[in-house]
Amino acid sequence: MNDAQNAPSSPRLIAAIVGLHLVGLGLLLAGAAEGTLLFGLGGLAYLLGLRHAFDIDHIAVIDNVSRKLVRERRSAAFVGFAFSAGHSSVVFLLCLLVVLTSGALAGELEGIAAFGGVFGTVVSATFLSVMAALNARLVWRLWQGYRHAECRHDARARGLLSRMVTKSTAWIDRGWKMYPLGFVFGLGFDTATEVALLGLSAGAAQHAGWPPWSVMALPVLFAAGMTSLDSVNGWLMQRAYRWGTDSPKRLRFNLAITMLSVAVAGLVAAMEWTGLALDHLAPGSWLGDQIAALPSAALGVAVVAACLLLWALARYRGARRPIS
């Protein structure tokens, strides 16, 4: 994948992110006559979006799909943006329903979340399981190449299981195709940030004198915050994975960061499958409560930090021993 192929991606990506910010801020400014409280709620919605971008399932999906596209020599620039845009579309639509019903729908959200939670979790856990299996096979090939000091670090997997897994994710051959996947993930709607945003929207919708269009600034700003950080994460992962595959002498880094992505995807999938099973077979169990209480955003930050640390260390070692 040459640089010329990627050149148009960054301006379009930046324009899309800036556009979301401008729409959100424009709605806030248009509603300025209603008072300053809306500005405070808008700032809080934006912070909720930034926080939600670091949820561990976002990080796992974006990292693993970025690895897949880089391996296929395709651009992964829009992976983070498209995924979070699809996810935030669900939030936007639910907020729109809440606003149009003047908050009356807020009492029905528990039932909506219960239905979407099962469907969204099954899709999320299934997809992450498939991605973990796909990249785990790549880890094995990388490990073989590392042990034998070969340059086949981008070799493609073989075998029936590998072909089945590869075909199941073959439709994701462009970053923008992450949008429908993000939308389905968003149907889970079981995170505190999303519930908090809906609560803010419901409260704002019931506030006397606030027109519906001004309240919709909240989900737009939420989407702006989330797409910003998810896009940065996708961009960084694309850079890191491309750097790792540029030379056979970076095989150790390629192996390490791919192992990390596989471990994260597998762990998140296992937690989601276990949590879903316990919710239906043993509701209120200790293990289920512990899984639900895990700090998703903190875990996501830790994964991103680990990836960046591995990349920084690899570049430092490469600077000390230049590649010939």
User: 181: exposed, middle or buried (C-beta count within 10 Å: 0-12, 13-18, 19+)?
Assistant: buried
State the pLDDT confidence band at 154, using cuts at 50, 70 and 90: very low
Rounded CA-CA distance 124/59 in Å is 12
pLDDT of 75 strictly over 80 = yes
pLDDT digits (tens, 9 = 90+) for 10-40: 788 899 999 999 999 998 888 766 667 778 8
User: CA separation (Å) from 273 to 136, 268, 269, 270, 278?
Assistant: 19, 9, 6, 5, 9
Crossing angle between the packed helical segments 37-52 and 217-245, to the nearest 10 degrees: 30
DSSP SS3 for 103: coil
Predicted TM-score (pTM) of this structure: 0.78
Q: What angle do CA 231, 296, 103 make, to 5 degrees?
A: 80
Specify the DSSP class assigned to residue 157.
P
Q: Which amino acid is at 102?
A: S
Q: How large is the C-alpha radius of gyration of the chain? A: 21
| Domain extent listing, the chain | 3-320
Tens of pLDDT, residue by residue over 183-219, are 888 876 555 566 667 666 766 666 655 777 788 888 8
What would the pLDDT profile of 87-144 be if each residue is shown by its tens digit?
889 888 888 887 777 655 555 555 555 666 677 778 888 888 888 887 787 777 777 7
**Residue 226 near residue 52 (C-beta atoms within 8 A):** yes
